Amino acid sequence: MQSLSQVYCDSRLHFQLPWNSNKTHYVFSKSNLRRPKRLNLSCSLKTSYGFESERIERGEKPEAFSLPVVIRTSVQENYMEYVKWKFLHAVFSSALRVLATQAMFRAMGFGYSKSLPSAAALNWVLKDGLGRLSRCIYTASLASAFDTNLKRVRFSTSIMFTLSIGVELLTPVFPRYFLLLATMANVAKQISLAGYLATGSAVHRSFAVAGNLGEVSAKAQIQTVCFDNVGLMLAAFLNLLCKNNERLLAVLPFVVYPIFSAIDLLGIYQGLKHVHPQTLTKDRLEIILDRWIHLKHIPSPAEVSKEEGIDFPWRKGRVLWPIRIGCVDPKDPIPKISMLTMQSLRGEDSYFICLETTPKGFRSNKQQGVLLCLREGCSVTDIIMGLLQACYIREELRRRDKWKQIMETNVVSESLLSEWFKMVEDVKRCACTLEDVELLTEELHRSGWSVKNILLSVQEQVRYNMS
């Protein structure tokens, strides 16, 4: 890209700047300061200094130095990788929707003649009505999960959408059950649409650089339209290839469905790997604190996103001594040591940490974990300090195998009780002071994290009250 610029300068002007750059430059020589010159766009600007009239009269060549020019982009650097995978997903998803609509039209034509008026009469109530009602119920029940489990919701609803396409493809095979199959498919589609719309703004916000969420969202809409049109062209091309063979045209959706679905889900899965949210959740903050404890290093959003992955629920069961934020569940057995911890609470405490034993899988299987209970009105600093202390305590518990046996037997002696309270106080005094948390908060902000708020699920937002 080139730029045309005119520079006029007074020979009496003394222009001095302290920095230098090794990048490509605009070059302003002494002999052409008074006439326009075509300049090459670059990352810095090279100019002259020391415009003394004596040096000009002697004909000396003026020295040059660099004036940096910052060129800002409107999206994160990982945005283009996301768009590439989005293209793959959108094209094949659009093609599948076309084939599914054709299959439903064939199903209505192949069924009984009475099915057409009945379909027209019950279409709104059964198909669209129930679908939108299911969408409302799903959105209301998972309101906080759209932020705390962004990638999981996005990918799981995409799987549901793909399955709904498969149900619609079955309507020509079972034309008598057209309304039932169409209604089931539409319910799944509405739920997947709710997940897509609810997580869309969070995905776009992760790519915005300077609060330009509207610009990124507008680009996403343009991309969706263009990619969908490519998918329509792909479906039309396949239909043209099979237009002279009715049997092949009927079998075509079942042949391409597993291939297109696999490519569609692959595009979504790979695209989500390039989505790096900067907002803090319990799981992300736990990953950050573990890295801070072991390496004294704050990982970037990209590093945490890579380790976090899709965050499937079954992955959490593999963690030894998992940490949970919430309150004690009276339905589960409360260990004696946890009861004594709650009895020792003081009025100024903003949180407390205890141990818990929760069922895992079958009722006979038990899992030992660490529970962080937050007090009503606690601040973001309190949450960070409490979770940091819980991570330190978990490290101690992992090194001491006897605590697992103690939790299983629920037999606590006076010496073990003293050891527990000493461990908690030592961690809180030595490793989780307010100065440490302030330093941690500064490092979080410097690494690109938003520390104004921590997004918690509905269960994690439960607080206790001392009154």
pLDDT at 338: 77
In the structure, how many helices (H) and strands (E) does the chain have? 17, 9
Question: Which of these, 68, 71, 70, lies nearest to 21 by C-alpha position?
Answer: 68
Is the pLDDT assigned to residue 181 strictly greater than 80? yes
Q: List the single range of 5-9, 21-25, 390-394 with lowest mean pLDDT.
A: 5-9
Task: Tell me which H or E stretch contains 453.
Answer: strand 450-455
What per-residue confidence (pLDDT) applies to 42? 40
Residue that wins the pLDDT comparison between 238 and 416:
238
Across 23-27, 158-162, 194-198, 199-203, which has the greatest mean pLDDT?
158-162
Read off the pLDDT of each residue in 150-178 and give the average, rounded to a whole number.
90
**Dihedral, CA atoms, 263, 266, 268, 274, nearest 10 degrees?**
-140
Q: Which residue has the higher pLDDT, 381 or 428?
A: 381
CA neighbor of 201 nearest in space, from 213, 192, 210: 213
Kindly report the pTM of this predicted structure. Answer: 0.72
Average pLDDT, the chain: 77
Backbone φ, ψ for residue 223 (5° rounding): -60, -40
Alpha carbon distance 201, 147 (integer Å): 10
Is residue 213 scored above 80 in pLDDT? yes
Best mean pLDDT range from 55-59, 246-250, 266-270: 266-270
Q: What confidence score (pLDDT) does residue 48 get?
A: 44
Q: Looking at residue 159, what is its pLDDT?
A: 93
**Which contacts qualify for 97-102: CB closer than 8 Å, 24 or more apart?**
97/165, 97/231, 98/231, 98/232, 98/235, 98/236, 99/169, 99/235, 99/238, 99/252, 99/253, 99/256, 99/257, 100/165, 100/168, 100/169, 100/185, 100/253, 101/168, 102/239, 102/253
Residue 47: which pLDDT band, with cuts at 50, 70 and 90? very low
The pLDDT assigned to 28 comes to: 41
Determine the pLDDT at residue 406.
Answer: 66
How far, in Å, are 115, 122, 126 from residue 179 at the CA level? 9, 8, 7
Range of lowest pLDDT (60-64, 153-157, 194-198, 293-297): 60-64
pLDDT tens sequence across 19-30: 444 444 444 444
- Under the banding of pLDDT at 50, 70 and 90, the label for residue 15 is very low
Pairing between strand 37-40 and 323-325? unpaired
pLDDT at 105: 77
- Cβ distance 147 to 279 under 8 Å? yes
Q: How many CA atoms lie within 13 A of 183 on its CB side?
A: 15
- pLDDT of 127 above 70: no
Per-residue pLDDT tens digits for 294-338:
888 999 999 999 888 887 766 665 678 889 999 887 776 667 777
Q: What's 355's DSSP letter?
A: E
Mean pLDDT of 3-32: 41
Q: Indicate if the pLDDT at residue 264 is higher than 90.
A: yes
pLDDT level of residue 12 (50, 70, 90 thresholds): very low
Phi and psi at 214, nearest 5°, equal: -65, -40
Q: What is the average pLDDT across 439-462?
A: 89
Q: What whole-number distance in Å separates Cα of residue 189 and Cα of residue 161?
A: 5
What would the mean pLDDT of 37-57 be, rounded to a whole number?
A: 45
Question: Residue 186: is its pLDDT beyond 90?
Answer: no
Mean pLDDT of 348-369: 74
Residue-level pLDDT at 260: 94
Model confidence band, residue 71 (pLDDT cutoffs 50, 70, 90):
very low
The per-residue pLDDT for 458 is 84
pLDDT given at position 158:
92
Q: Which of 278, 326, 269 is nearest to 303 (CA)?
A: 278
Is residue 100 a contact partner of residue 253, using CB atoms and an 8 Å limit?
yes
Residue 2, token pair as written in the block: 């080139």
Give dist(CA 278, CA 301) in Å, integer: 6
If you count them, how many residues does the chain have? Answer: 467
With residue 380 as reference, give the H or E element that holds it. helix 380-399
